[in-house]
């Protein structure tokens, strides 16, 4: 395939990895698609084909689910102690640490994000997630419950609960943080003793496939983790509908989230969803304005705005509106947009041609609706999927660019007059994933945090993630929480055992 994607020298292990068509991982073996088909993945910085990938479809999903079923029902995994499981997960975290450069480079080539960011955030956060979850493997426990049973007077019982793994899990992940989303999904499933069929996004399968190699190297038994790349409408849909899958965990668009719910009705598999957002980021006039400006810029521009929790609605108290908007626009203009491999790049290309079209379409709609760009507003260059970091003003809640998830570096700035008037406007969205608040008034900060209908509220910071902190959505932003101990609820089920003594 050749690597002619950048004038920069890329790691030779990475060059070798993408040089050969990549296979899928089923039952501990790397195999071609049953159909023999492959699909291309592209380098978004150039639009050129990066690698060919085995194209999974229904037959491959079926084989992978069978392998996961066998590993769960009767494989060595099902007999391992929690401590043994925890050690394997910890070892995987160590292997991620040992391969930071290689994984970060794959992420940059496939997704477009700046290598400096993939290296500092994506890979270490993924390793952290596995390490945090490794610790949970030995700490999932039930309770003993004193019971009264009114219709058996005088009888004595010993009643307790067991927390057992849900079973075979189908996991469908997006392209914005390919490796990290795989870690968020796999970590709790493995800690709980589940087995998995993972379908990475068709735009960014590479890091998950390299992770699959590290999973084998760590020593996980065959069939515990199966990785089937392919398209959503085929492989993804087959996984979501499969009758031998006990639960499906999905991250992606709200639109597809709804399809997943429908697909799950056949066998009533459990469903968890981490979906879109249109998060309000609120700057009060009593905040430290310099910090609030820098933080608000990074709230929207981090990962090119391709974050489900991006602070895409910037509410600013009227007396400081111009200063904050000018400040965020000045930051936007300073952002160095370029190939993620260049060391000085702080924003790479969007992930795909389709995503570029989607974002540019929203920019046009916004202008037609009367919005004005004080920075950016258009596509950048003729090669690759670059777009200018954009700050829109003259926006109001009725506009599409204020209601719909753009998933690009585009923020709509809106003034407000006081807290009472702000709250219903900030909550005027079908989403409820995250929110930001910038103020020095502690009491106001916590009152506003309580009033925001969102799964995460950041005060005087934004985009702060930790494996211990639960993350997920209110309203149409999803079902369930990822990370923290909350996520383990999604991968375990309770068995009540009652003994008459
Ligand atoms: P998408 O929701 O179509 O893709 C996410 C994952 O779902 C991918 O692995 C895809 O292959 C799979 N998928 C797609 N259709 C499926 C189906 N019918 N059954 C099962 N799996 C299916 O997202 P897409 O099209 O890449 O992006 C569209 C918009 O979605 C973005 O502009 C953004 O607004 C939103 N999005 C939100 C994400 C989040 O983190 N919440 C991540 C990615 C996209
Ligand atoms: Mg889609």
CA 463 from centre of chain: 12
Residue 55 has pLDDT above 80, yes or no: yes
pLDDT of the residue at 114: 97
Say if residue 143's pLDDT is above 80. Answer: yes
Active-site option among 194, 307, 308, 309: 308
Contact call for residues 386 and 337 (beta carbons, < 8 A): yes
Pocket probe for ligand 1: among 174, 204, 242, 387, the residue whose CB has the most ligand atoms within 8 Å is 174
Q: Separation of 350 CA from ligand 2 center, angstroms?
A: 15
Q: How far is the CA of 498 from the centre of ligand 1 (A)?
A: 44
At residue 7, does pLDDT exceed 60?
no
Q: Which of 181, 228, 252, 479 to mutate to test the pocket of ligand 1 (most atoms within 8 A of CB)?
A: 252
- Whether the CB-CB separation of 448 and 461 falls below 8 Å is answered with no
Say if ligand 1 is within 6 A of residue 202 CB.
yes
- Note the ligand closest to the C-alpha atom of 351: 1
Q: C-alpha dihedral over 138, 222, 188, 24, to 10 degrees?
A: 160
Hey, which of 232, 238, 272, 353 would you mutate to test ligand 1's pocket, going by the most ligand atoms within 8 Å of its Cβ? 232
Atom of ligand 1 nearest to the CA of 201: 9
The per-residue pLDDT for 361 is: 98
Give yes or no: 344 in active site: no
Residue 338 gets which letter from DSSP? S
Q: Is the pLDDT of residue 205 over 90?
A: yes
CA dihedral 396, 398, 404, 405 (to 10 degrees): 10
Q: Which of 299, 276, 313 is nearest to 397 (CA)?
A: 313
Q: Is the CB of 96 under 6 A from ligand 1?
A: no
Report the atom number in ligand 1 closest to the C-alpha of 408. Answer: 32
Is 482 a pocket residue for ligand 1 (Cβ < 6 Å)? no
Local structure of residue 305 (DSSP, 8 states)? G
Structure tokens at 481: 């929480």
Percent of the chain at pLDDT above 90? 97
pTM for the model: 0.97
Query: Measured in angstroms, how far is the CA atom of residue 447 from the centroid of ligand 2?
Result: 37
Q: How far is the CA of 256 from the centre of ligand 2 (A)?
A: 7
Cα(323) to ligand 1 centroid in Å equals 36
Interval between CA 232 and ligand 1 midpoint (Å): 8
Identify the active-site residue in 102, 107, 202, 274. Answer: 274
| Per-residue pLDDT reduced to its tens digit, 270-313 | 999 999 999 999 999 999 999 999 999 999 999 999 999 999 99
Give the model's pLDDT for residue 164.
Answer: 98
Ligand 1 contact via 236 beta carbon (within 6 Å): yes
Using the mean position of ligand 2's atoms as its centre, give its distance from the Cα of residue 230 in Å.
12
Would you give the DSSP letter of residue 480? Answer: S
Q: 317: Cβ below 6 Å to ligand 1?
A: no
Closest approach atom of ligand 1 to CA 172 = 9
Contact criterion met (CB below 8 Å) for 442 and 344: no
Q: Tell whether ligand 1 has an atom less than 6 A from the beta carbon of residue 107.
A: no
CB of 350 shorter than 6 A to ligand 1: no
Strands 168-172 and 195-199: parallel
Average pLDDT, the chain: 97
Query: Is the confidence at residue 226, as pLDDT, over 50?
Result: yes
Residue ID of nearest Cα to ligand 1 atom 10: 232
- The verdict on the CB of residue 176 being under 6 Å from ligand 1 is yes
- The distance from CA 54 to its chain's CA centroid, rounded to whole angstroms, is 23
The closest of 224, 211, 215, 217 to 182, measured between CA atoms, is 211
- In this model, does residue 76 exceed pLDDT 50? yes
CA distance 33 to 224: 19
pLDDT given for residue 8 in this prediction: 59
Cβ-proximal residues to 344 (8 Å cutoff; 6+ apart), any chain: 336, 338
pLDDT at 11: 82
Concatenate the DSSP letters of all residues of 421-443 into one string. HHHHHHT-SS--SEEEEE-S-HH
Torsion angles phi and psi, residue 311, rounded to 5? -80, 80
Which residues touch 199 (CB under 8 Å, ≥6 apart)?
Answer: 56, 61, 170, 171, 172, 173, 227, 228, 229, 230, 232, 235, 236, 239
Query: From start to end of 439-481, where are the E strands?
Result: 456-459, 478-479
Instruction: Decide if pLDDT at 160 tops 70.
Output: yes
Tell me, in angstroms, the distance from the centre of ligand 1 to residue 253's CA: 5
* Whether residue 308 has its Cβ less than 6 Å from ligand 1: yes
pLDDT digits (tens, 9 = 90+) for 330-370: 999 999 999 999 999 999 999 999 999 999 999 999 999 99
Tokens 């794959």 map to which residue?
106
**Is any ligand 1 atom within 6 A of the Cβ of residue 191?**
no
- Is 119's C-beta closer than 6 angstroms to any atom of ligand 1? no
Residue having the nearest C-alpha atom to atom 15 of ligand 1: 232
- The contacts of residue 236 (CB under 8 Å, 6+ apart) are 172, 199, 230, 256
Q: Nearest ligand, CA of residue 204?
A: 1
3-state secondary structure 242-283: CCCCCEEEEECCHHHHHHHHHHCCCCCCEEEEECCCCCEEEE
Q: For position 333, what pLDDT does the model report?
A: 98
**β pairing state of 390-393 and 270-274:** unpaired
Mean pLDDT throughout 6-19?
81
Cα 84 to Cα 9, 25, 131, 226: the distances in Å are 40, 22, 14, 20
Give which of 379, 407, 353 is closest to 48, Cα–Cα: 353
- Our answer to whether residue 461 is catalytic in this structure is no
- 253 within ligand 1 shell (Cβ under 6 A): yes
């Amino acid at each position: 395939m050749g690597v002619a994607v950048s004038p920069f020298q890329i790691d030779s292990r990475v060059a070798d990895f993408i040089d050969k068509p990549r296979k899928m991982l089923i039952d501990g073996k790397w195999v071609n698609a049953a159909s023999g088909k492959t699909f291309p993945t592209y380098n978004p910085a150039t639009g050129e084909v990066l690698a060919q990938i085995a194209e999974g479809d229904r037959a491959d999903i079926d084989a992978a689910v069978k392998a996961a079923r066998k590993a769960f029902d009767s494989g060595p995994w099902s007999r391992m102690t929690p401590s043994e499981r925890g050690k394997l997960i910890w070892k995987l975290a160590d292997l991620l640490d040992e391969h930071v450069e290689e994984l970060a480079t794959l992420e940059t080539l496939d997704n477009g994000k700046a290598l400096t960011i993939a290296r500092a955030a994506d890979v270490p956060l993924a390793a952290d997630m596995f390490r945090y979850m490794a610790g949970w493997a030995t700490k999932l426990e039930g309770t003993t419950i004193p019971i009264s049973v009114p219709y058996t007077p005088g009888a004595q019982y010993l009643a307790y609960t067991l927390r057992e793994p849900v079973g075979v899990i189908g996991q469908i992940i997006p392209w914005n943080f390919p490796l990290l989303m795989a870690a968020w999904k796999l970590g709790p499933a493995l800690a709980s003793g589940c087995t998995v069929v993972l379908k990475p996004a068709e735009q960014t399968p590479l890091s998950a496939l390299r992770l699959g190699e590290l999973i084998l190297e760590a020593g996980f038994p065959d069939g515990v983790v199966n990785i089937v790349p392919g398209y959503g409408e085929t492989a993804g849909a087959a996984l979501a509908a499969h009758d031998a899958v006990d639960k499906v965990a999905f991250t992606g668009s709200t639109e597809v989230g709804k399809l997943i719910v429908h697909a799950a009705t056949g066998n009533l598999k459990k469903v968890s969803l981490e979906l879109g957002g249109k998060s309000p980021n609120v700057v009060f006039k009593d905040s430290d304005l310099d910090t609030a400006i820098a933080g608000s810029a990074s709230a929207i521009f981090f990962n090119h705005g391709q974050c489900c929790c991006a602070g895409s609605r910037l509410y600013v108290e009227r007396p400081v509106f111009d200063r904050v908007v000018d400040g965020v626009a000045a930051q936007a203009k300073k952002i160095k947009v370029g190939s993620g491999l260049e060391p000085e790049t702080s924003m790479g290309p969007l992930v795909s041609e389709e995503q570029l079209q989607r974002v540019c379409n929203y920019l046009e709609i916004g202008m037609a609706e009367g919005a004005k760009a004080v920075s950016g507003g258009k596509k950048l260059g003729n090669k690759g999927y670059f777009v200018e970091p954009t700050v829109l003003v003259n926006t109001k809640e009725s506009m599409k660019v204020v209601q719909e998830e753009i998933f690009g570096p585009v923020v709509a700035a809106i003034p407000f007059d006081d807290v009472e008037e702000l709250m219903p406007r900030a909550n005027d969205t079908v989403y409820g994933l995250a929110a930001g608040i910038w103020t020095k008034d502690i009491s106001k900060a916590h009152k506003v945090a309580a009033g925001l209908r969102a799964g995460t509220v950041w005060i005087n910071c934004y985009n702060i993630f930790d494996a211990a902190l639960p993350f997920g959505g209110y309203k149409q932003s999803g079902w369930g929480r990822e990370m923290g101990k909350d996520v383990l609820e999604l991968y375990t089920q309770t068995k009540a055992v009652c003994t008459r003594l």
